[in-house]
A and B are shown apart, each in its own frame.
Chain A
Amino acid sequence: MLTIRADLLAAMVSHARADHPDEACGVIAGPSGSDRPERHIPMLNAARSPTFYEFDSGDLLALYRELDERDEVPVVIYHSHTATEAYPSRTDVALAGEPEAHYVLISTRETGPAEGPFEFRSFRIADGVVTEEPVVVEGDPTH
Protein backbone atom coordinates (compact mmCIF):
# COMPACT_ATOMS: atom_id res chain seq x y z
CA MET A 1 0.00 0.00 0.00
CA LEU A 2 1.16 3.53 -0.77
CA THR A 3 0.18 6.21 1.73
CA ILE A 4 0.75 9.64 0.20
CA ARG A 5 -0.07 13.21 1.24
CA ALA A 6 -2.62 14.93 -0.98
CA ASP A 7 -0.29 17.89 -1.62
CA LEU A 8 2.46 15.55 -2.87
CA LEU A 9 -0.01 13.73 -5.10
CA ALA A 10 -1.16 17.10 -6.47
CA ALA A 11 2.47 18.14 -7.09
CA MET A 12 3.15 15.00 -9.15
CA VAL A 13 -0.02 15.49 -11.19
CA SER A 14 0.84 19.17 -11.85
CA HIS A 15 4.31 18.15 -13.00
CA ALA A 16 2.82 15.54 -15.33
CA ARG A 17 0.42 18.13 -16.79
CA ALA A 18 3.15 20.75 -17.17
CA ASP A 19 5.38 18.41 -19.17
CA HIS A 20 2.59 16.90 -21.29
CA PRO A 21 2.91 15.65 -24.06
CA ASP A 22 6.38 14.54 -22.92
CA GLU A 23 6.66 12.14 -20.01
CA ALA A 24 7.40 13.75 -16.65
CA CYS A 25 9.44 11.97 -13.98
CA GLY A 26 10.66 12.43 -10.45
CA VAL A 27 11.01 11.11 -6.96
CA ILE A 28 9.34 11.54 -3.58
CA ALA A 29 12.08 10.99 -1.05
CA GLY A 30 11.55 9.91 2.52
CA PRO A 31 13.57 8.84 5.54
CA SER A 32 15.37 5.54 5.03
CA GLY A 33 13.33 2.64 6.38
CA SER A 34 10.20 4.75 6.95
CA ASP A 35 8.28 4.02 3.71
CA ARG A 36 7.00 7.60 4.14
CA PRO A 37 7.17 9.79 1.02
CA GLU A 38 7.87 13.36 2.21
CA ARG A 39 9.97 15.43 -0.19
CA HIS A 40 9.08 16.05 -3.84
CA ILE A 41 12.04 16.14 -6.22
CA PRO A 42 10.92 16.73 -9.81
CA MET A 43 13.56 15.48 -12.26
CA LEU A 44 14.21 16.49 -15.85
CA ASN A 45 13.36 13.87 -18.43
CA ALA A 46 16.67 13.76 -20.31
CA ALA A 47 14.92 11.85 -23.11
CA ARG A 48 12.34 14.66 -23.57
CA SER A 49 10.05 12.15 -25.16
CA PRO A 50 6.34 11.32 -25.14
CA THR A 51 7.20 7.59 -24.94
CA PHE A 52 10.34 7.38 -22.80
CA TYR A 53 11.87 8.90 -19.70
CA GLU A 54 15.32 8.79 -18.22
CA PHE A 55 16.93 10.79 -15.43
CA ASP A 56 20.03 12.59 -16.71
CA SER A 57 23.06 10.61 -15.50
CA GLY A 58 24.68 13.60 -13.76
CA ASP A 59 21.38 14.52 -12.07
CA LEU A 60 21.01 10.88 -11.00
CA LEU A 61 24.39 10.87 -9.21
CA ALA A 62 23.63 14.23 -7.55
CA LEU A 63 20.23 12.93 -6.45
CA TYR A 64 21.61 9.76 -4.86
CA ARG A 65 24.45 11.67 -3.16
CA GLU A 66 21.90 14.06 -1.65
CA LEU A 67 19.62 11.22 -0.55
CA ASP A 68 22.57 9.44 1.08
CA GLU A 69 23.65 12.58 2.91
CA ARG A 70 20.14 13.04 4.28
CA ASP A 71 19.67 9.33 5.02
CA GLU A 72 16.75 9.26 2.61
CA VAL A 73 15.63 6.84 -0.07
CA PRO A 74 13.48 7.26 -3.18
CA VAL A 75 10.24 6.05 -1.56
CA VAL A 76 8.28 6.89 -4.72
CA ILE A 77 9.60 6.94 -8.28
CA TYR A 78 6.98 8.43 -10.58
CA HIS A 79 6.53 9.08 -14.25
CA SER A 80 3.69 9.91 -16.56
CA HIS A 81 2.21 8.22 -19.55
CA THR A 82 0.75 10.79 -21.88
CA ALA A 83 -1.16 8.63 -24.37
CA THR A 84 -1.66 5.31 -22.59
CA GLU A 85 -2.98 4.01 -19.30
CA ALA A 86 -1.23 4.45 -15.95
CA TYR A 87 0.21 0.93 -15.99
CA PRO A 88 3.90 -0.05 -16.26
CA SER A 89 5.01 -0.67 -19.84
CA ARG A 90 7.28 -3.58 -20.74
CA THR A 91 10.18 -1.12 -20.73
CA ASP A 92 9.21 0.12 -17.27
CA VAL A 93 9.30 -3.43 -15.96
CA ALA A 94 12.57 -4.30 -17.70
CA LEU A 95 14.35 -1.22 -16.33
CA ALA A 96 12.90 -1.02 -12.82
CA GLY A 97 15.97 -0.85 -10.58
CA GLU A 98 14.57 -0.04 -7.14
CA PRO A 99 12.80 -3.12 -5.78
CA GLU A 100 11.81 -1.29 -2.59
CA ALA A 101 10.28 1.77 -4.28
CA HIS A 102 6.66 2.47 -5.03
CA TYR A 103 6.45 3.00 -8.78
CA VAL A 104 3.74 5.59 -9.41
CA LEU A 105 2.24 6.02 -12.85
CA ILE A 106 0.16 9.06 -13.79
CA SER A 107 -1.72 9.22 -17.06
CA THR A 108 -2.56 12.55 -18.63
CA ARG A 109 -4.06 10.96 -21.73
CA GLU A 110 -7.56 12.27 -21.00
CA THR A 111 -7.03 16.01 -20.55
CA GLY A 112 -3.36 16.60 -21.38
CA PRO A 113 -2.04 19.76 -19.74
CA ALA A 114 -5.50 20.87 -18.56
CA GLU A 115 -7.23 20.27 -15.25
CA GLY A 116 -9.60 17.34 -15.23
CA PRO A 117 -9.66 13.61 -14.73
CA PHE A 118 -6.33 11.79 -14.45
CA GLU A 119 -5.18 8.30 -13.55
CA PHE A 120 -2.86 7.80 -10.59
CA ARG A 121 -1.80 4.25 -9.71
CA SER A 122 1.00 2.67 -7.70
CA PHE A 123 2.94 -0.55 -8.25
CA ARG A 124 5.75 -2.62 -6.90
CA ILE A 125 8.08 -3.85 -9.61
CA ALA A 126 10.59 -6.51 -8.57
CA ASP A 127 12.18 -9.37 -10.50
CA GLY A 128 10.06 -8.56 -13.54
CA VAL A 129 6.79 -8.90 -11.61
CA VAL A 130 4.32 -6.01 -11.39
CA THR A 131 2.03 -5.86 -8.36
CA GLU A 132 -0.52 -3.07 -8.13
CA GLU A 133 -1.15 -1.72 -4.64
CA PRO A 134 -3.85 0.45 -3.07
CA VAL A 135 -3.19 4.18 -2.72
CA VAL A 136 -4.32 5.96 0.45
CA VAL A 137 -4.37 9.76 0.22
CA GLU A 138 -3.96 11.74 3.41
CA GLY A 139 -4.71 15.36 4.21
CA ASP A 140 -5.83 18.38 2.28
CA PRO A 141 -4.28 19.09 -1.16
CA THR A 142 -4.04 22.82 -0.41
CA HIS A 143 -1.65 22.32 2.53
Chain B
Amino acid sequence: MSVEVRVPTILRTLTGGEKVVTANGDTLAAVVSDLDVSYPGMGARLLDDSGLRRFVNIYVNDEDVRFLAGLQTQIADHDSITILPAVAGG
Protein backbone atom coordinates (compact mmCIF):
# COMPACT_ATOMS: atom_id res chain seq x y z
CA MET B 1 0.00 0.00 0.00
CA SER B 2 1.33 3.40 -0.92
CA VAL B 3 0.56 6.16 1.53
CA GLU B 4 1.43 9.78 2.10
CA VAL B 5 3.18 10.56 5.35
CA ARG B 6 3.27 14.09 6.75
CA VAL B 7 6.58 14.70 8.47
CA PRO B 8 6.96 17.28 11.29
CA THR B 9 9.58 20.04 11.10
CA ILE B 10 11.92 18.32 13.55
CA LEU B 11 12.19 15.21 11.31
CA ARG B 12 12.57 17.06 8.03
CA THR B 13 16.35 17.05 8.50
CA LEU B 14 16.01 13.35 7.63
CA THR B 15 13.79 13.87 4.57
CA GLY B 16 15.88 16.57 2.92
CA GLY B 17 13.32 19.17 3.98
CA GLU B 18 10.33 17.31 2.49
CA LYS B 19 7.08 17.85 4.40
CA VAL B 20 5.16 15.01 2.76
CA VAL B 21 6.79 11.75 1.70
CA THR B 22 5.50 8.47 0.28
CA ALA B 23 5.94 5.11 1.94
CA ASN B 24 4.70 1.55 1.52
CA GLY B 25 3.41 -1.06 3.92
CA ASP B 26 0.33 -3.01 4.97
CA THR B 27 0.70 -2.10 8.61
CA LEU B 28 2.03 0.95 10.39
CA ALA B 29 5.06 -1.09 11.50
CA ALA B 30 5.83 -1.89 7.85
CA VAL B 31 5.41 1.77 6.86
CA VAL B 32 7.83 2.82 9.61
CA SER B 33 10.38 0.22 8.42
CA ASP B 34 10.00 1.48 4.87
CA LEU B 35 10.48 5.07 6.03
CA ASP B 36 13.65 4.02 7.85
CA VAL B 37 15.02 2.52 4.62
CA SER B 38 14.28 5.67 2.61
CA TYR B 39 15.26 8.05 5.44
CA PRO B 40 17.80 6.31 7.66
CA GLY B 41 17.38 7.21 11.31
CA MET B 42 13.63 7.77 11.06
CA GLY B 43 12.86 4.47 12.80
CA ALA B 44 14.84 5.36 15.89
CA ARG B 45 13.10 8.73 16.13
CA LEU B 46 9.68 7.07 16.14
CA LEU B 47 10.26 3.83 18.02
CA ASP B 48 12.07 2.63 21.10
CA ASP B 49 12.46 -0.86 22.56
CA SER B 50 8.88 -0.90 23.75
CA GLY B 51 7.32 0.29 20.48
CA LEU B 52 6.00 3.70 19.52
CA ARG B 53 7.74 6.38 21.56
CA ARG B 54 5.55 7.85 24.30
CA PHE B 55 5.92 11.43 23.06
CA VAL B 56 5.52 10.78 19.35
CA ASN B 57 1.98 10.80 17.99
CA ILE B 58 1.14 9.00 14.75
CA TYR B 59 -2.28 9.36 13.20
CA VAL B 60 -3.83 7.25 10.47
CA ASN B 61 -6.32 9.55 8.77
CA ASP B 62 -7.86 11.30 11.78
CA GLU B 63 -7.18 8.73 14.45
CA ASP B 64 -4.30 8.49 16.91
CA VAL B 65 -2.93 4.97 16.38
CA ARG B 66 -2.94 4.46 20.15
CA PHE B 67 -6.73 4.27 19.80
CA LEU B 68 -6.41 1.91 16.83
CA ALA B 69 -4.04 -1.06 16.88
CA GLY B 70 -0.79 0.84 17.45
CA LEU B 71 1.99 -0.37 15.18
CA GLN B 72 -0.24 -3.22 14.01
CA THR B 73 -2.79 -0.78 12.59
CA GLN B 74 -3.73 -1.88 9.07
CA ILE B 75 -2.91 0.58 6.33
CA ALA B 76 -4.99 0.83 3.15
CA ASP B 77 -4.10 2.50 -0.12
CA HIS B 78 -4.56 6.27 0.04
CA ASP B 79 -4.64 6.38 3.82
CA SER B 80 -2.90 9.42 5.10
CA ILE B 81 -0.42 9.20 7.94
CA THR B 82 0.60 12.18 10.08
CA ILE B 83 3.51 12.21 12.52
CA LEU B 84 3.51 14.89 15.23
CA PRO B 85 5.79 15.20 18.23
CA ALA B 86 3.76 15.66 21.41
CA VAL B 87 3.70 19.21 22.70
CA ALA B 88 4.44 18.47 26.31
CA GLY B 89 6.76 19.22 29.17
CA GLY B 90 7.00 19.69 32.89
Q: Is the CB of B89 within 8 A of A55?
A: no
**In the complex, A98→B82 CA distance in Å?**
16
Task: Type the 1/0 row for A51-76, where 1 means its CB is closer than 8 Å to any CB of B.
Answer: 11111011011001000000001100
| Identity of the chain A residue whose Cβ is nearest the Cβ of B89 in the assembled complex | A92
Kindly list chain A residues whose C-beta atoms are within 8 Å of the C-beta of B90: 51-53, 89-92
Contacts A52-B89, A92-B90, A95-B55 given; does A60 touch B10 at CB 8 Å: no
Decide yes or no whether A97 CB sits under 8 A from chain B.
yes
Decide yes or no whether A77 CB sits under 8 A from chain B.
yes
Contacts A61-B82, A98-B9, A99-B10 given; does A55 touch B88 at CB 8 Å: yes
Kindly list chain B residues whose C-beta atoms are within 8 Å of the C-beta of A25: 87
The residues in A between 102 and 117 inclusive whose CB is less than 8 angstroms from any CB of B are: none
Decide yes or no whether B42 CB sits under 8 A from chain A.
no
Q: In the assembled complex, how far is the CB of residue A71 from the closest CB belonging to chain B, in whole angstroms?
A: 12
Q: Is the CB of A95 within 8 A of B86?
A: yes
Decide yes or no whether B64 CB sits under 8 A from chain A.
yes
Decide yes or no whether B62 CB sits under 8 A from chain A.
yes
**In the complex, A43→B86 CA distance in Å?**
13
| Identity of the chain A residue whose Cβ is nearest the Cβ of B19 in the assembled complex | A68
Kindly list chain A residues whose C-beta atoms are within 8 Å of the C-beta of B89: 52-54, 79, 88-89, 91-92, 95-96
**In the complex, A98→B10 CA distance in Å?**
6
**In the complex, A92→B89 CA distance in Å?**
4
Q: Is the CB of A61 within 8 A of B62?
A: yes
Decide yes or no whether A100 CB sits under 8 A from chain B.
yes
**In the complex, A97→B53 CA distance in Å?**
13
- Which residue numbers of A lie inside 8 Å of B, CB to CB? 25, 27, 43, 47, 51-55, 57-58, 60-61, 64, 73-74, 77, 79, 88-92, 95-100
- Which residue numbers of B lie inside 8 Å of A, CB to CB? 8-10, 55, 57, 59, 62, 64, 66, 82, 84-90
Which 8 residue pairs of A and B lie closest in terms of their CB atoms, listed nearest first? A97-B85, A91-B90, A92-B89, A54-B88, A89-B90, A55-B87, A57-B64, A57-B57
